[in-house]
Amino acid sequence: MADISIATKYKMLSGQEIPVLGFGVYQTPAAVAEDVVLHAFKVGYRHVDSARAYRNEGPCAEAIKKSGIPRSEIFFTSKVPPRSMGYEQTKSSINSSFSQTGLDYIDLYLIHAPYGGKEGRLGSWRALVEAQHAGRIRSIGVSNYGVHHLDELESYIQELESQHGKGKGGEISVGQWELHPWLARPDIVAWCQRRGILMQAYCPIVRNQRAEDPALQPLVKKYGKTPCQVLLRWSLQKGFVPLPKSATPSRIEENAEIYGFELTDGEMKSLETDEYAPCAWDPTTSDD
């Protein structure tokens, strides 16, 4: 693949750009989130993945303000919590994000999970589209959607466009899922790739549960990298935007040191598995 670095960005369907490596703050306590994010900025990260449900949007925003880095160079994500699905609830969620962060705009806002029933999902999407058109949110997308949820949303976008005109239904710029060799989600990946939707990978290092996997060991030895670094490199070479998380300074640094080597096509293939093994929740299967 073309040379990339921590400063590389991809262009989304919205026309906005997103850094190729994100910094996740799931389960990062609010009391330490500001310091942790500031350290990530010092390492070179420019992309923070938060959510209403993480309860740390405010400290993350404080880090953005105190970093000395121009706001335009930092990419900040939040998400509609599963308990706030529906048009009015999502409008309230967005307003709460702005009141807690004090930011002038949010780069990306996702629907965190496909719960709340069809009416709730579509109402949440309509609220995100309105916020994007108002300039409050730059790009919108979904997280943890199965193909059936994606099909439902695509039909709704087409319906809105037929009623109100092209572009009025919004565009799915980003989809976020648990993605790694033991949960490669080929059906969802194919759906997104056909439409040019950028994919983010959470749990890209599988919570370090696969560090001793035999498929990783030859690559660890060959490249002098940790299992986590090999997995993050796999994610980058798949075209995903990995979102490693850690509150440990040395791990934050280690997870950013993934640009000095490249896996061969054969090595990428050696990491393919037929496993479907989530290490976190899996709302993609929801029939709600």
Active-site residue (options: 39, 45, 47, 54) = 54
Strands (E), the chain: 9-11, 17-19, 23-24, 47-49, 75-80, 106-111, 137-143, 174-178, 198-202, 241-242
54 assigned to active site? yes
Q: How far is CA 18 from CA 64, 89, 172, 200, 265, in A?
A: 16, 27, 14, 10, 26
For 128-193, the three-class secondary structure string (H helix, E strand, C coil) is HHHHHHCCCEEEEEEECCCHHHHHHHHHHHHHHHHHHCCCCCCCCCEEEEECECCECCHHHHHHHH
Element (H, E) at 246: none
In the three-class reduction of DSSP (H, G, I as helix; E, B as strand; rest coil), residue 76 is classed as: strand
Measure the CA–CA gap between 254 and 245, rounded to whole angstroms. 11
Taking residue 113's Cβ as centre, other Cβ atoms within 10 Å add up to 24
Q: Are strands 9-11 and 241-242 parallel, antiparallel or unpaired?
A: unpaired
Extract the tokens encoding 104: 């002038």
133 assigned to active site? no
In terms of Cβ atoms closer than 10 Å to its own Cβ (0-12, 13-18, 19+), residue 92 is middle
Measure the CA–CA gap between 9 and 101, rounded to whole angstroms. 24
Active-site residue (options: 39, 45, 109, 112) = 112
Measure the CA–CA gap between 163 and 189, rounded to whole angstroms. 29
Length of the chain: 288
CA 88 to chain centre: 24
- The residues annotated as belonging to the active site are 54, 112
